[in-house]
Amino acid sequence: MGLSTKTLTVLKYNDAKLELVSEIKFKQTENLLDLLNAHKIGISQSCGGFASCTTCRIFVTKGLQYIKPREDLEAERAQERNFTEQERLACQIELPVEAATDFEIIIANPTED
C-alpha cells in the first residue's frame, strides 16, 4: 500500500453555528485524542483517556464507516448515556490512514486553547 495522507476537519459549535477549528493532515493511523492534543486543539479530557469521563465526546460526521466499532468500555459509556451512532469517545478511536475518505468531527466539549 502506498503512502497516503488524510485530512481531519475539526468543527465545533459557536452558539448554534458550526465553526471550523482546524484542518489536520495525518500520514499514519492515529488515535483521535492524541492527534487533537498534538495539534493543540482544545477538547475536554477529564479522565486522561480512559473511557470513563466521556468529556472527550465528539460526533463523527464523515468517515465513521472506517472507524472500528466500539470496544467494551466505550460501548458501556455509550449505552449509559444514550449516544447516537455518530457519538464517540475521541480517546477510544483510531483514524485509519488507509480509509477511502477523509474525516470530519464536531467536538462536543471544546475548551479554550
Q: Does residue 55 belong to the site contacting ligand FES (CB under 6 A)?
A: yes
CB of 94 to ligand FES, least distance (A): 13
Q: Does residue 51 belong to the site contacting ligand FES (CB under 6 A)?
A: yes
Q: Does residue 89 belong to the site contacting ligand FES (CB under 6 A)?
A: yes
From residue 77, give the alpha-carbon distance in Å to each of 34, 56, 109.
20, 12, 16
Burial 70-104 (b: 16+ CB within 10 A, else e): beeebeebbeeeebeeebbbbbbbebbbeeeebbb
Q: Does residue 54 belong to the site contacting ligand FES (CB under 6 A)?
A: yes
Applying CB under 6 A, which of residues 10, 11, 24, 45 lies at the interface with ligand FES?
45
> Which residues, in sequence order, are bridge partners of residue 6?
26
**Binding footprint of ligand FES on the chain (CB under 6 A):** 45-47, 49-56, 89, 91
